[in-house]
Amino acid sequence: MADLEVQGLKRSFPNGTDTLHVLAGVSFTVAAGTMVAIRGESGSGKSTLLSVIAGLDRPDEGTVLIGGEDLTRMTEDALTAFRARHIGLIFQFHYLLRDFNALENVMLPAFMAGETRKKATAKARALIADMGLSEREDHLPAQLSGGERQRIACARALMNDPDFIFADEPTGNLDEANSEQVARLLFDLVAGYRKTLLLVTHSNDLAHRAGRILQLEGGLLRDEV
């Protein structure tokens, strides 16, 4: 398992005639196997920070080290391959492929990594069972509830056995009952599969399920006490 080390991340965006400084030198570390929540007001830059750390966006300055490898210096091809092996992503919207059933959506990362159909199918079915959705694996996304779709997205994130799960408001589109179910499953599975979780959320309840809470404010990150 690998540690995450973030040093001096800066990210700005044009804002009319001005410049919006979203990240102003963010630095922190996440030890392997821990669960960390990042909180902040809407528009504080939480999603931008997670995107930069996951290599979906490039910082203006700073480094992102995972297991000693600097994601900010990788080519796009190398970064894509690294994410496929080491990072599972969960977003507020599930992003399931509408013409693929639940099983096929979960299997997709394994296919992209070159896994055989037999092994990918067996692992996907095991993950879907962990989500309590074995009877729904042949259903298309449109035939699933919002909570079920997000649980399938969680299973997909675990498919390639990544070191890290990065989750951006994973319960943000769900009602209270489904939010609780998805949150419980997410934390149980991250612990059970011994993953490192970095969670972006505005939910106090979700944040306090993590072992550590970081607050993003004014482009800087600090530990909550």
Q: What does the alpha-carbon distance between residue 96 and residue 84 come to, in Å, rounded to a whole number?
A: 17
Average pLDDT score over residue span 217-221:
89
Domain containing residue 183: CATH number: 3.40.50.300
Q: Write the single-letter amino acid at 38.
A: I
Q: Report the run of H or E that residue 86 belongs to, with start and end.
A: helix 76-86
Model pLDDT, residue 89: 92
Q: Write the single-letter amino acid at 168.
A: D
pLDDT digits (tens, 9 = 90+) for 142-200: 999 999 999 999 999 999 999 999 999 888 778 888 888 888 888 988 888 899 999 99
pLDDT digits (tens, 9 = 90+) for 20-71: 889 999 999 999 999 999 998 888 889 999 999 999 999 999 999 998 899 9
Q: How many structural domains is the chain composed of?
A: 1
| 24, 219 Cβ separation under 8 angstroms | yes
Q: Which residues contact 103 (CB under 8 A, 6 or more apart)?
A: 121, 124, 125, 128, 137, 138
Please report, rounded to a whole number, the percentage of residues in the chain having pLDDT higher than 90.
61
Model pLDDT, residue 56: 92
Q: Would you say the pTM of this structure is higher than 0.85?
A: yes
Q: Report the run of H or E that residue 129 belongs to, with start and end.
A: helix 117-130
pLDDT band at 92 (very low <50, low <70, confident <90, very high): confident
DSSP 3-state percent helix, strand, coil across the chain (nearest 5): 40, 30, 35
Host domain of residue 194: 4-223
